Amino acid sequence: MSNQNDTAKNIGLVALGCGLALLIPFILLTIVPLIFFPLFLSGLQSSLKELGNELEAPQTLSEISKAQEDYFAKNNRFASQISELKLEITPETDNYKYDMSVINNNRSVKITATAKNEELSSYTGGVFAVKIEGNDKPAIISELCVTDGASLTPPEMPKLVGIKTECPPGSSSSSWLTSDSDSSSEF
């Protein structure tokens, strides 16, 4: 009788072991992901939001730059206010404050995106009308400079050296938006 009880106990322990062996993978494959997946999505959503916030300024400055180029082609001068460009751009958003000033006898315009959040970079765009020998119309050369790190202060105006541009110290060219071809440039 003792042998039968031992056998029954062994069978019970084997069944319990098999049950646990099936239960542990079930828990690992279903319950654990249910706990961690929302955390993953939350982190992903946060990262995408930060990326969207960071892309707002270069996209907006690119739009303003292109509008300035078109405005200059029609009026032989740059617009002095964003509203003159007839763009649907809000001068201030949750992330950035946009500003623009015409300088150098209306031969260039400085466009800034000043970060309002300490985690974002600030930007300065320069649009230059450059007289090139042999051409009746000036070439438009653009540059977009971004602070080398997060900053609440935009970089100084890019410098025009011949027909090339240089970003000031503490900033670098946002090259994916920069073009310095002769008459159809945009950030």
In terms of residue numbers, what domain contains 109?
59-177
- With respect to residue 1, please indicate whether it lies within any of the assigned structural domains: no
DSSP one-letter code for 93 = -
Give the number of domains in the chain.
1
**How large is the average pLDDT for residues 77-92?**
92
3-state class of 54 per DSSP? helix
Sheet with 123-130, strands from edge to edge, namely 96-103, 108-115, 123-130, 139-147, 171-173
Tell me the one-letter amino acid at 10: N
**Residue 3 resides in a domain:** no
41 in a domain, yes or no?
no
Token pair listed for 106: 């209306």
Res 177 pLDDT > 50:
no
Residue in the block written with tokens 């009746």 = 136
On whether residue 80 sits in a domain, the answer given is yes
DSSP letter (8 states) at residue 115 = E
Among residues 166, 122, 130, 175, the alpha carbon closest in space to that of 148 is found at 122
Residue 181: partners with Cβ closer than 8 Å, 6 or more residues away: none
Query: Per-residue pLDDT averaged across 111-125, rounded?
Result: 96
Distance CA 66, CA 26 (A): 57
Question: pLDDT tier at 111 (50, 70, 90 boundaries)?
Answer: very high
Amino acid symbol at 171: S
**Do the domain assignments include residue 86?**
yes
Task: Check whether 174 has a pLDDT greater than 50.
Answer: yes
What digits encode the pLDDT tens for the residues 18-39?
Answer: 665 666 666 666 665 566 555 5
| Residue 48 located in a structural domain | no
Query: 67 or 163, which is more confident?
Result: 67
> Which tens digits make up the pLDDT trace of 34-81?
665 555 545 444 444 455 567 899 999 999 999 999 999 999 999 999
* Neighbouring C-beta atoms of residue 122, cutoff 10 Å: 23
Q: Can you point out the beta strands (E) in 10-163?
A: 96-103, 108-115, 123-130, 139-147, 159-161
User: Does residue 142 have a pLDDT over 80?
Assistant: yes
